[in-house]
Structure 1
Amino acid sequence: MKKKGQRLQRYFGLRREAGMAWSGGIEHLLPGQISGWVVAKGVPLQEVRLLVGHHLIARAEINQARPDVCEKLGWQGTPGFSLVLPAELPPVDWQPAPRLLAISADASQQVELGLIGKPQQTAGLLKALLQSDLLGLEGHVDGLLQGALRGWAGRRGQGHPAHIWLQAAGQEPLRLNCNQWRDGLLAMGLPERSGFQLDPMALPPSWGGLEAWCSFDPQGQFRLPQLERVVLPAGPAVGGEVMQAIQTSASLTPGNLPPMQEWPTGVPDDLRHHWQALENFRLYLDKVEQKLEARDNSRQQAPAPKVSGLPGWWPHLLGGGR
């Protein structure tokens, strides 16, 4: 039984530091906030502090409910925390590595928290985040809703809409602008026009069927949180009828267009109207050209006008009137 308890402790990350057994860490490292959980046996940890050397960047109480953690560890309390990051920092000395500390009420006990699953990368990612222009951004991917990928991202007091990046394995990241209206953001202190939505069918076919996610940066280091996996729908298979329509539409050029009602049924409506508009414009230019040509011909054929006030014999001086 004792060995089983030790295995569970190792599984949930239970450590001993300065005589204190504790477990937890950073779950989400985002430009706008750092969230996670921490518990310590026999020591009530009260708050987390983000420090760069002696500079206090932000602080937050450890007071959020985490029933999942409490159930797994058999713990009673509120071990979660969410530390909001400022959009701007004062001048600091970056020589010391940034640290996130969980501290007891009397500050006599403290532990340094790292990213759960990759604690060795914590200091580097913290420094990169705090020094980037992403600082202060918040966001969330709501998922595929009503056929569109939806979510939001923004910064308090922002002057311009934020943008994020759509990611998938083997694909170049795609930039998404967050400038659409979304309900509920004003209550969070964010501009209401910080939402985004994307029709997956507008993506290149190579994205179909892939798991997608969003990040604040094109490199994909800082991911937007999301509750569920997002798998993009695969595009419809290109059958013989559609291929024939594509080939037919590719051969259509202004001047050899049949009437729209005679077009193959597989040609998309937007392509039909596009080519029909070009054909109508070509016919309009033809009429203009015909009018200009008729005007020029009429000018060439018109006789020279007589100039009043000259004697009738003046054409003989030029060899005319014979």
Structure 2
Amino acid sequence: MKKKGRRLKRYLGLRREAGIAWSGGIEHLLPGQISGWVVAKGVPLQEVRLLVGPHLIARAEINQARPDVCEKLGWQGTPGFSLKLPAELPPVDWQPAPRLLALSADGSQQLELGLISKPMQTASLFKALLQSDLLGLEGHVDGLLQGAIRGWASRRGQGRPAHVWLQAAGQDPWRLNCNQWRDGLQAMGLPERSGFHLDPKALPPGWGGLEVWCSFDQEGQFRLPQQERVVLPAGRAVGSGLVDAIQANASLTVRNNPPTQEWLTRMPEDLGHHWQALEQFRLYLDMIEQELEVRDNSQKLEPAPAPVKKSSNLPKWWPRLLRGGR
């Protein structure tokens, strides 16, 4: 039982600081908000403050219900917090590291909170986020709905649509522009045309069957929240969009070039697929170019139409009047 209790304490982040037994920290560090929970034995904590040196960046009350935490700790109260981050910061001195503090009502008790999953990286991630152009962005991955990956990302008062990055293990990030209409954003004070949706067929074949998620940054450090795992369909459903589109417009075949075909057999399957699609598209463009050239040449051979003689609107007796009635 003692070992089980110690494991539970480590899982919940139980620790002591300045003589106070407490647990909790930051669960989600996002460009638009910081959320988490904190519980201190015998100390009623009231609010959290994000500071850079003496500069107060944002503050929020510790007043959100977290039944999962209360059940595990046998705690009664509302230990959760959600701190909204501004889109712009005043000039600050970045020499001191950013800190998130939980304070008692009179400010006499202060606890510095870190990331529960990456406590040693808290300061560096704080600094990277606060100095980036991502600050203030909010978003969410809705899931794989109606055959497309859907979600949204935006910030209040933004001048142009944001973009996020689709991520999967072993694949290069795929940029998603957030300029599609998405219901419900206006009630949150965000532009309604801030949604994104992507047909998995537009992705390369290597993405098939992989679990995907989205991040605000290309490196994947700041993930968009999502309720459920998103796994792409396997097989030809992924990566078939380009080839299907080309074959639907023109029934072209790759030229019978023995050396090229030999290279294709030695290529990895994904590269061979891309090469064939590009070759078909090149041939399709060549065919269009030939048709345009034939059309232009035929227009040059046709004789120019004779000019139409403009008839006069004057009455027939008008010339006789000018000749003196003769």
TM range (shorter): 0.7 to 0.9
- Partners of 1:201 and 1:28 lie apart in 2 by 31
Q: What per-residue deviation string (whole Å, max 9, x for no partner) do you get for residues 182-239 of structure 1?
A: 111111111111100000111010111111111111111111111111111123289x
How do 1:115-154 and structure 2 match up within 5 A? 115-154=115-154
Q: Which residue in the other structure is 1:316 paired with? A: none
Matched, 1:249 2:248: no
How do 1:2-41 and structure 2 match up within 5 A? 4-41=4-41
Q: Which residue in the other structure is 1:87 paired with? A: 87
Q: TM-score if structure 1 supplies the norm length?
A: 0.77
Q: Which amino acid aligns with 1:249?
A: T
- Partners of 2:288 and 2:41 lie apart in 1 by 80
1:22 Cα offset (Å): 0.7
Q: Unaligned 5+ residue runs, structure 1?
A: 253-270, 297-322
Change in Cα spacing, 1:130 to 1:295, as seen in structure 2 (3 Å) is: same
Q: Unaligned 5+ residue runs, structure 2?
A: 257-279, 305-326
Matched, 1:217 2:200: no
Q: Which residue in the other structure is 2:66 paired with? A: 66
1:20 Cα offset (Å): 1.0
Q: Which amino acid aligns with 2:229?
A: R
How do 1:1-322 and structure 2 match up within 5 A? 1=1, 4-236=4-236, 249-251=253-255, 286=294, 289-290=297-298, 292-293=300-301, 295=303
CA contact (8 A) 1:201 1:235 kept: no
Q: Which is higher, the Rg of structure 1 or of structure 2? A: 1
Q: Which amino acid aligns with 1:117?
A: S
Q: Which amino acid aligns with 1:176?
A: L
**Aligned partner of residue 139 in structure 1, secondary structure:** strand
Q: TM-score if structure 2 supplies the norm length?
A: 0.76
Q: What per-residue deviation string (whole Å, max 9, x for no partner) do you get for residues 247-291 of structure 1?
A: 963349xxxxxxxxxxxxxxxxxx99x96x986885675465346
Q: Which amino acid aligns with 2:199?
A: D
Change in Cα spacing, 1:291 to 1:28, as seen in structure 2 (3 Å) is: closer
Q: Which amino acid aligns with 1:289?
A: N
CA contact (8 A) 1:31 1:137 kept: yes
- Partners of 1:191 and 1:36 lie apart in 2 by 27
**RMSD value, Cα:** 3.0
- Partners of 1:61 and 1:100 lie apart in 2 by 13
Q: Which amino acid aligns with 2:222?
A: F
Q: Which residue in the other structure is 2:313 paired with? A: none
- Partners of 1:14 and 1:250 lie apart in 2 by 65
Amino-acid identity (%): 77
1:14 Cα offset (Å): 0.8
